Amino acid sequence: MLFRELEKINSRPEPFEFYTASDLWTDDHTSQQMLSFHLNEDIDVSSRNAKFIQDSVTWIVSRFGLSEASSVADFGCGPGLYAARLAEHRAKVTGIDFSRRSIQHAIAAAGKGGLPINYVHGNYLEFDTEERFDLILMIMCDFCALSPAQRKTMLDKFALFLKPNGHVLLDVYSLTGFARQEEAAGYELNQLNGFWSPKRYYGFSNIFKYADEKVVLHKHTIVEPERIRTVYNWFQYFSPEAINVEFSGSGLKAAEFYSDVAGNPFDPLSTEFAVVAELS
């Protein structure tokens, strides 16, 4: 029995075979852990550090000419770190996120700040609206966590939701980043300082690399006294050419590339890059 469980823990699934986002973002304990990472302004976990976010917002407002006449949709808005700052620049902002805890925090913060932001709790893969946007954001490489079919769903939605002269801004992991990834396996008691559960547990981590697909999987198996659960965190890595192919299938085209969403010049050695897209 134990041998079979260990075999299962160390098994390599097909790329994007399993989708477990809800286990990370809707679980009461892990969603609280993720929110605490979001709100730690000094680290680049869940959200980037506060200085980068402020620099990024300053560039976004300037690059896209945001004003009180602008409408912005932030897909995967978390606790509203971008949405709130954009609303402070008077843009009309809609934020969508899977985590009820993050949305509740964002709503409370907007209320305290007197910011009229429309926050929507739900899976952005299922989000629909009659509103059309000047700018659509998907930041912190959220796009890379989605399967090819899910990415197609999102890009189709983006093309539908854009105003005729609107733009999409998102960031992705690069092939340079993929080259630096290595496969690994390990386990630890209460792995990641109790991140996965408030109870005593053993956490097993496997990193699998898929050379042909340019995909990396971080597979986490959490063994508690009463249950075993597995969380699959997928990361797709891209070249600018691959992004263009994906976008073109949904009536979008990549217009500009940067090293990040703060507008720094594109560097092929960067482990991430950002793309500005528009309707083709």
**Of the candidates 139, 78, 88, which has an alpha carbon nearest to the alpha carbon of residue 112?**
88
Q: Can you name the CATH fold of 29-175+237-279?
A: Rossmann fold (3.40.50)
127-152 per-position pLDDT tens digit: 999 999 999 999 999 999 999 999 99
Mean pLDDT computed over every residue of the chain: 94
Query: What's the average model confidence in pLDDT over 50-67?
Result: 96
- State the residue for tokens 């869940």: 46
DSSP the chain: -HHHHHHHHT--PPTT----HHHHHTSHHHHHHHHHHHH-TTS-BSB--HHHHHHHHHHHHHHHT--TT-EEEEET-TTTHHHHHHHHTT-EEEEEES-HHHHHHHHHHHHHHT---EEEES-GGG---S--EEEEEE-SSGGGGS-HHHHHHHHHHHHHHEEEEEEEEEEEEEHHHHHT---EEEEEETHHHHTS-SS--EEEEEEEEETTTTEEEEEEEEEETTEEEEEEEEEEEE-HHHHHHHHHTTTEEEEEEESSTT-PBP-TTSSEEEEEEEE-
The residues, ordered by sequence, that sit 6+ positions from 112 with a Cβ below 8 Å of its Cβ are none
Q: Rounded distance, CA 230 to CA 79, Å? A: 25
The dihedral sign for the CA sequence 126, 132, 137, 143? positive
Task: Answer for the pair 163, 64: CB distance below 8 angstroms, yes or no.
Answer: no
Mean pLDDT check: name the lowest of 43-47, 62-66, 85-89: 43-47
Start and end residues for every CATH 3.40.50.150 domain found in the chain: 29-175+237-279
Local confidence band at 43 (pLDDT 50, 70, 90 cut-offs): low
**Structure tokens, 225:** 């006294």
- Burial label, 8 (beta-carbon count in 10 A; 0-12, 13-18, 19+): exposed
Closest CA to 158 of 277, 9, 78: 277
Which pTM does this prediction carry?
Answer: 0.94
pLDDT, tens only, 99-126: 999 999 999 999 999 999 999 999 999 9
The average pLDDT across 236-259 equals 97
pLDDT band for position 193 (cuts 50, 70, 90): very high
Instruction: Read off the pLDDT of each residue in 175-183 and give the average, rounded to a whole number.
Output: 98
Q: Are strands 162-174 and 133-138 parallel, antiparallel or unpaired?
A: parallel
243: β partners: none
Whether 46 has a pLDDT exceeding 60, the answer reads no
